[in-house]
Structures are given as C-alpha cells and as structure tokens.
Amino acid sequence: MIDLFSGLDAWVLVSLLLALAFVLAFEFINGFHDTANAVATVIYTKAMPPHLAVFFSGVFNFLGVLLGGVGVAYAIVHLLPVELLINVNTGHGLAMVFSLLAAAITWNLGTWYFGIPASSSHTLIGSILGVGLANALINDIPLADGVNWQKAIDIGASLVFSPMAGFLIAALVLISLKWWRPLSKMHKTPEQRRKIDDKKHPPFWNRLVLVISAMAVSFVHGSNDGQKGIGLIMLVLIGIVPAQFVLDLNSTTYQIERTRDATLHLSQFYERNRESLGEFLALGKSVKGDLPEKFRCNPQQTEPTISALLGTLKGVADYHSLPSESRIEVRRYLLCLDDTAKKVAKLPGLAAREKADLDKLRKDLTTTTEYAPFWVILAVALALGLGTMVGWKRVVLTIGEKIGKQGMTYAQGMSAQITTACMIGAANIFSLPVSTTHVLSSGVAGTMVANKSGLQGGTVRTILLAWVLTLPATVALSAGLFWLASKALGS
C-alpha cells in the first residue's frame, strides 16, 4: 500500500492524509451516531449489559463492512454525474471531498449532541448533492445535469419508503405476536417485569431473539452504512491520486480481457440494434471532437470511444504497464460507455431480452473501475466498529423511552429489530442505501401505535423535523463550502 503513495508532492500527501482522516472521522461518528439505534432496544430491555451490547455490535458492524461488498458504495458515488467523476483533478478533488465531509460531520455531530436520531445516510447524500449542484452553478452546467437525478430519485425513494414500510411491518409483526401469545410475558416492559416478576432480564427466548436481532441489525448496518465510507474513500483516492486508483491495478489478465470483450460485444450490440439506436448514437457518422481533452460524455461519440478504448487496451495484460494518463483515459472511456449504455436501456423499442444483455455488459464494463482495495475496507470497518463503542447513551434513551408515552415492551423491541434487519438486508441486495436510524425509530413508533401506547408528540416532531431538514441543510452547507473552496483554488 505504501508504494502507491510514493513520489507524491508533500502538499498532496498531506492533503490526502487529511482527507482520509476526515472520511474515517465521518465513519467513526457514524458508528456512535447510528449504531446506537442498533443496540437501543437490546440495552433498554436489559437483554444485554450495555458494555457487552456495544462491544458485540461493534464486532458485527466490523464484519458487516468486511463482507458487504461495494454495491452501495458505488450507488453513493454515482449520485455525482459522470462528467464530475471523469474530471480527475487534485485541487478539484480536494475541494469536493472536504466540502461534503465537513458538511456531513457538522450535521452529524450537531444532531448527536441533541440526542436526535437523525440519519447519516440523509446527511451524506445531501452533502454529495450539494457539491454536484454547486459544481453545476460554478461551471455553467444546467442544474438538470449537475446531479445524477435518476440515481438520486432511486435512493430518495428508498429513503422515503423504508421508514414507512418499517412503521407498518413492525406494527403488523407486533399485532401478530399479540394475537399468537396475548398473555405472554414478552408484552411487559422492563419496568413491569421488575415490579411484577421481580426479574431484571427478559424471558429466555425473548432475550435470545432480542440479542440475535440486535446483532443482525449491527451487521446489516455495517454492510450498508460502511459502504458509504468506502465510496467516500474511493472518491478521495481517485480525486487526489488518480493515476494509482482510477483502475484496479490488481486486476488479473482475465479481468482486463473481460473488459475488452465486453467493449467488443457492446459494439456488436449497437450494430445489431442499428435500426432503433443509429440516430441516438450517430452510428456511422459519429461527431468529431476532442475526445481525450473534453471532460464530457456524448452518446454520439460512442463509436470513437469504443475504438479508442480497444486501441488503448490492445495487448495489455496488466494495468501497471499503462502510463498514468492512459489509465485515466481508460476509466473515462469505460464510465462514458457505461453512462451511454444506461441511457440506451431507457429508450423505447429495445426488447426485454436485449435490455438484459445490455445490463450484463454494463457489469462487465465496470468490473475494474468499481472496486475497493482491502485496506480501504479494513480501515472503514475499524472506524465504524470503534465508533460503535462510544457515545451511544443519548440515542438509546430517545429510542427506548421518548418515542412512545410508555416504555418499550420486549415484543416491541423484537418487532422493531427484526423488521429493521430484514429491510436493510433487502436494501443491501439491491445496492440501495437506507437509514438504519429512520427504519428502526419508525419501527418503534409503529409498535407503539399497534400497542396503543401512544406517541410522544414532541419527540416525533423533532425526529420528523430532523428528517425534513437534513437534506436541505446539508445541500446548502456543502454547496456553500464547495463554492468557497473552488473560488479559493481559482484565485
């Protein structure tokens, strides 16, 4: 790993280390900010002592990051338009990364200080959107092109839908438990259990389910939220030291050949569908342009892009053999071809079978660009895991006692945690970032309503207010910081 950073100017190296420290600080804060939600019910119900719950939650968050893949990481990265991703420039990368991280960390710390279960996912997404919009304004790009709005809509839908579904599903699970075992001790609160049964802990089976579901929430939280940190670090590395990280330099000869084959098959695909795609892609009459110089993707330059990529990769068995500039160009070609293929898939006239083929080709094209070195995954896993082990008390109290007018019962805790673990696990499968905070707190609220415990209006309003304000606040903050940084760099 050390050799990757050799030969860098001192200011670039210092900036890189600071940027990495910022990302890891964000993940550490994410650990004690969001993971409190994962252990809130298990601590409140006395199913586990706080120190054990927090320790094991940290371990399972760590494992979740290690085993979670990078699908969610690149879903976050691709919120930025492809033009911003291919414009690799050290100063530009520094401004982008520091602006969005400063905004995200500021909001996270503020909401944590006041014990508000706000979402680190919303915070990060708002910060990225702010940078994209500010970049569009600075460079006179239409706001419609300043952000990958389709990806933003997909992620926004998952962030809006998941709390609503969490509320409903957790309520239904609790109703089912009350119907199945109406007289069970699992419907007691810890306070009632202590007064009536003179017992400190939940009944054995309830305690076991609470512990297992809490660790499951921790694991899926790590695999979802941890990937956001991985995506951020890859943005840092690609933006500041592009020559070393624009492509996976550890790619095997087979992986490089797979990329080259996918490019050839893509050309054949377009030729096969010339009748419906010829005009959109200007097949046979491609627009001439400064292909290596302009940082903008144009579907009408698809043919010369394919030709340039195949020419650059001809005879290449190891990315190390490519000059630095060629690596940057290869990534740019791959990202533009993927972006165009994504647009083509949305055009009318393509058969479902052809769209499925195109989707497979896109995955093969991005094999060596959508990756993360193991040391990046390990660093994020450690930061998130260690962050889990501090600062959890403020949010635990909010989740356990301040959402409902009565304390949480064991059945409510199980219902909320099982729902949260299943929903975040499903989101991981589809590479969608969701908010552990909002899914769990909504689940608890759903069980309070189903249990007819009532909701504390003040706490619910505060959570909703944080939910509503997080995106506009972080968008404005990161956009302002990026504008100031860009002006400073330009002056």
How far apart, in whole angstroms, are the C-alpha atoms of residue 251 and residue 321?
Answer: 12
Q: DSSP character for 249? A: T
Q: pLDDT tens, 96-120? A: 878 888 888 888 788 777 766 567 7
Q: Where are the domains of the chain?
A: 7-243+372-487, 251-365
404 pLDDT more than 50? no
First and final C-alpha spacing in the chain: 34
**H or E element at residue 160:** helix 149-180
How far apart, in whole angstroms, are the C-alpha atoms of residue 449 and residue 113?
Answer: 28
If you search the block for the tokens 């939220």, which residue do you land on?
225
Regarding predicted confidence, which is higher, 454 or 239? 239
Query: Whole-prediction pTM value?
Result: 0.83
288 pLDDT more than 60? no
399 pLDDT more than 60? no
Task: Report the alpha-carbon angle 54-55-59, nearest 5.
Answer: 115
Distance of CA 255 to the CA centre of its chain: 25
- Cβ atoms of residues 106 and 478 within 8 Å: no
34 pLDDT more than 80? no
How far apart, in whole angstroms, are the C-alpha atoms of residue 381 and residue 226?
Answer: 7
229 pLDDT more than 80? yes
- Least confident among 15-29, 141-155, 232-246, 422-436: 141-155
How far apart, in whole angstroms, are the C-alpha atoms of residue 41 and residue 417?
Answer: 8
List the alpha helices (DSSP H) in 430-456.
Answer: 436-450
Q: pLDDT tens, 239-269? A: 778 888 889 999 999 999 999 999 999 999 9
Taking alpha carbons only, the member of 17, 24, 19, 13 closest to residue 378 is 24
How far apart, in whole angstroms, are the C-alpha atoms of residue 62 and residue 226?
Answer: 8
pLDDT of residue 400: 47
- Cβ atoms of residues 423 and 169 within 8 Å: yes
What size, in residues, is the chain?
491
pLDDT band with cut points at 50, 70 and 90 for residue 209: very high
pLDDT of residue 413: 87
Which phi-psi region, left, alpha or beta, contains residue 391 (left: φ > 0; alpha: ψ -120 to 50)?
left
pLDDT of residue 287: 58
Average model confidence (pLDDT) across the chain? 82
170 pLDDT more than 70? yes
Distance of CA 214 to the CA centre of its chain: 21
* 3-state SS record for 366-398: CCCCCCCCHHHHHHHHHHHHHHHCCCCHHHHHH
What average pLDDT does the segment 158-180 reach? 90
- Cβ atoms of residues 306 and 337 within 8 Å: yes
pLDDT of residue 421: 92
How far apart, in whole angstroms, are the C-alpha atoms of residue 11 and residue 2?
Answer: 17
Tokens of 110: 């503020």
What average pLDDT does the segment 156-169 reach? 86
Q: pLDDT tens, 20-30? A: 888 898 888 87
pLDDT band with cut points at 50, 70 and 90 for residue 174: very high
Kindly state the percentage of the chain with pLDDT values over 90: 22
pLDDT of residue 396: 55
How far apart, in whole angstroms, are the C-alpha atoms of residue 216 and residue 417?
Answer: 8
Q: 3-class DSSP state for residue 418?
A: helix
pLDDT of residue 292: 43
- Cβ atoms of residues 85 and 151 within 8 Å: no
Regarding predicted confidence, which is higher, 460 or 447? 447
pLDDT band with cut points at 50, 70 and 90 for residue 150: confident
Regarding predicted confidence, which is higher, 320 or 399? 320
What average pLDDT does the segment 405-413 reach? 78
How far apart, in whole angstroms, are the C-alpha atoms of residue 448 and residue 412?
Answer: 8
408 pLDDT more than 70? yes
Q: DSSP character for 409? A: P
pLDDT of residue 401: 46
pLDDT of residue 87: 65
- Cβ atoms of residues 112 and 394 within 8 Å: yes
pLDDT band with cut points at 50, 70 and 90 for residue 176: very high
How far apart, in whole angstroms, are the C-alpha atoms of residue 116 and residue 468?
Answer: 13
Q: pLDDT tens, 335-379? A: 989 989 988 988 887 888 888 899 999 989 988 999 999 999 999
CA distances from 223 to 38, 70, 160, 240, 280 (A): 13, 9, 20, 26, 39
Q: pLDDT tens, 66-77? A: 998 888 888 888
- Cβ atoms of residues 359 and 238 within 8 Å: no
pLDDT of residue 3: 61
Which phi-psi region, left, alpha or beta, contains residue 119 (left: φ > 0; alpha: ψ -120 to 50)?
beta
The sign of the CA dihedral 165, 185, 46, 465 is: positive
385 pLDDT more than 90? no
Angle, helices 253-272/324-345, rounded to nearest 10 degrees:
40
- Cβ atoms of residues 372 and 70 within 8 Å: yes
pLDDT of residue 200: 82
pLDDT band with cut points at 50, 70 and 90 for residue 90: low
Beta-bridge partner residues of 404 = 455
How far apart, in whole angstroms, are the C-alpha atoms of residue 407 and residue 240?
Answer: 50
Q: pLDDT tens, 369-381? A: 999 999 999 999 9
pLDDT band with cut points at 50, 70 and 90 for residue 430: confident
pLDDT band with cut points at 50, 70 and 90 for residue 237: confident
pLDDT of residue 388: 75
Give residues with Cβ within 8 angstroms of 70, minimum separation 6.
227, 230, 231, 370, 371, 372
How far apart, in whole angstroms, are the C-alpha atoms of residue 119 and residue 156?
Answer: 13
Regarding predicted confidence, which is higher, 39 or 404? 39
What is the gyration radius of the CA atoms in the chain, in angstroms?
24
pLDDT of residue 6: 65
